[in-house]
Amino acid sequence: MNEREIEPGFLIVASPSLLDPNFARTVVLIITHDDGGTFGVVLNRPLDRTLVDVLPDVDPRGGSIPLFQGGPVQDDMLQVLTRHAGSGRMILPGVALGTELETLLDSAPEGDGLRGYVGYAGWGGGQLESETAEGAWIIAPARPEHVFDVPSDDLWVTVLRELGGHYGWLSMEGGDPSAN
């Protein structure tokens, strides 16, 4: 059972038992959470595309911004996370949800410290709490390194190992000691 509460600026990590192909082995950064529901972005589903691939007319400074599949909802929506203070709404220290693309590019001329997320993950009021109580999600504190520095292929395992104990075991082939 999770000791932590779901809050903006925290991560939810898919437990090995969560087999939904949209969320298996994902790490989601929670951006908003209230009685009406939850909004977040999947951090570890790179699209192997950059912003210029989906917005050919974008300012050339944005050409190197990597894109990720932020979730299965509204895949025509783009969110940008930035590590540059003053460029958006703070989600946690060192991570903000960007506002206008021009402002973001002014703060990061080479696109460094910016990541784009196509779509998002969303839950109705009480839905995520229910799924967490059933063991589908593990709540973990987030750090800027999780968003910008840990390779996508390593993020799920990294966060579970940081939690330690039982969660560290889960990171090894889904927590089945006989599989190791």
Strands (E) in 63-160, as ranges, are: 66-69, 73-82, 88-92, 95-98, 114-124, 137-141
Architecture of domain 10-179: 3-Layer(aba) Sandwich (3.40)
pLDDT over threshold 90, residue 47: yes
The burial class, CB within 10 Å (0-12 / 13-18 / 19+), for 21 is exposed
pLDDT tens for 1-19 read: 455 789 999 999 999 988 8
pLDDT over threshold 50, residue 179: no
Structural domain spans, the chain: 10-179
- The pLDDT value recorded for residue 13 is 96
Q: Which two tokens stand for residue 4?
A: 């932590």
pTM: 0.89
- The pLDDT value recorded for residue 2 is 55
Amino acid at 120: Y
Range 71-81 average pLDDT: 89
- The pLDDT value recorded for residue 111 is 61
- The pLDDT value recorded for residue 1 is 42
Q: How many CB atoms lie within 10 A of CB 9?
A: 16
Residues 6+ apart with CB under 8 A from 79: 31, 41, 70, 97, 98, 116, 117, 120
Torsion sign (Cα): 56, 58, 60, 65: negative
